[in-house]
Structure 1
Amino acid sequence: MQYSIKAILILALWVVTQIGFAESDSLYSSRSLSLELASKAVDGAIKACRKKGYSVAVAVVDRGGNVTALLRDRFAGPHTIETAIRKAWTANSFRQSTSVLAGLLKEGRIPDQVQHNPGALLVGGGLVITAQGETLGGIGVSGAPPGSSERDSIDGACAEAGLEAIWEDLELAD
C-alpha cells in the first residue's frame, strides 16, 4: 500500500495533537509592571522612609530581574543603589521576602550556598511583587538602619509602603 507524503504528514500531525505537543504549551503570556507603576512603588517607598527620617535607595526589578525603576534619595549612601537592586533581585528570584530568606538561612532551613548565589542578598528590605497569583518582580529598599530583627527591618517596612502605593492598581489589573 502506497501512502502519499501529504497523508503521512496529516497522520503525524494528528498523533502529535493527541499527545499534546501541537497545543500552544510552548507559548506563554505574562504580565509585567509598567514603568509608571514601578516608579509609583519607588516613590511610595521613598516617601515612607522620609517620614521616618531616612534617606534610601529603592529599586524595582521585573520578573526577569532587570531593573525597571531606581531612585536614590539625596543623602542615601553610595552603597544603597547596589544593595537595593540586589534585595529586589533576590526577592523576585527566590519568590520570597529577603527577611524571610535571612531567617530561614539563620535557622539552617535553606542551604548556606544560597547566600553565595551571585547577586543574592539575604537581609531585610526586599519583597516580591505579585498580582492575582502571578509574580511580576521585586522591590528593594536600602539605607535605613536595621530594626530589632531581620523580620522587622525599616527597609522592609518602606518596601511594604511601596507595594501599598500600587496595591489597588495591581488588584484591578486585567
Structure 2
Amino acid sequence: MKKVALAVALFAGPAVAQDNEALVQFSVMKPETALRLAQAALEDCRGKGYQVGVTVVDRFGVTQVFLRDQFAGPHVEETSRRKAWTAVSFRTDTLALAEETGAGTISSGIRDLSQAIALGGGVPVDAAGSLVGGVGVSGAPGPDLDDACARAGIAAVEDDISF
C-alpha cells in the first residue's frame, strides 16, 4: 500500500527540478530488446501451455511491441497493453496494485482511471534503478501466471539492460 501511495504522491505533486539543466536525459529499450523481451515472455507462457498476448511499452507507456500467440483470445491485445501501461504509470507491478487498490482502500479510485487495470501481469522494467519500460502479459489462466511470464521476459534481457 505504501508503494502505491508513494507512486501516487510522486505524480500528484508539482515537478521539481533536480538540477539546473534545461534538458532531461533518460533511457529506453531499443526495439530489438523490447522484441526479445516479448518473445521470451511469450515462449515462457507457451512452454507452460498458455496462449497469451505480450505488450512491451516504453517508459511513457507507448507500445513498442505486441505479440499474440496463435490461439490467444482477442482480449489479450487490450489487456496486455493496459497492464504494461499501468505498470509504468504507477511504477509498480499490477499484481501488487490489484491488492493495494481493492475496495475500501485509500487507493481504490485508481481502478476508475480509463487505462489503468489492477490485474496481475504488468511489470515495470528497470535498469540500474531507472524505469526503461514495462511489460504486460494476458491470457494465462491466472494473473499470477501472467506475472511469472512477464518476469521471465525481463530476466531474458536483464544482462543487456543493466548499466
What secondary structure sits across from 1:168 in the alignment? helix
The match for 1:13 is none
Q: 1:61 to 1:100 in 2, by over 3 A?
A: same
Q: Could you tell me whether the CA contact under 8 Å between 2:101 and 2:109 is conserved in 1?
A: no
Alignment of 1:17-166 (within 5 A): 23-24=20-21, 26-106=22-102, 108-146=104-142, 153-166=144-157
The aligned amino acid for 1:167 is: E
Q: Could you tell me whether the CA contact under 8 Å between 2:100 and 2:107 is conserved in 1?
A: no
- TM-score for both structures, normalised by structure 1: 0.80
Aligned structure 1 segments of 4 or more residues deviating by more than 4 angstroms: none
Note the alpha carbon deviations across 1:108-149, whole angstroms, 9 max, x for none. Answer: 444221011121010010000000110011100000011xxx
Structure 1 vs Structure 2 CA RMSD? 1.7
- TM-score for both structures, normalised by structure 2: 0.85
Equivalent pairs, count: 146
Indicate the percent of aligned positions where both proteins have the same amino acid: 42
What secondary structure sits across from 1:65 in the alignment? coil
The aligned amino acid for 2:94 is: T
Q: How far 1:107 moved relative to its partner?
A: 7.1
Q: 1:159 to 1:92 in 2, by over 3 A?
A: same
Unaligned runs of 5+ in 1: 1-19
The match for 2:8 is none
| Cα separation, 2, equivalents of 1:91 and 1:49 | 19
The aligned amino acid for 2:52 is: V
| Cα separation, 2, equivalents of 1:53 and 1:89 | 26
| Cα separation, 1, equivalents of 2:150 and 2:104 | 26
What secondary structure sits across from 2:101 in the alignment? helix
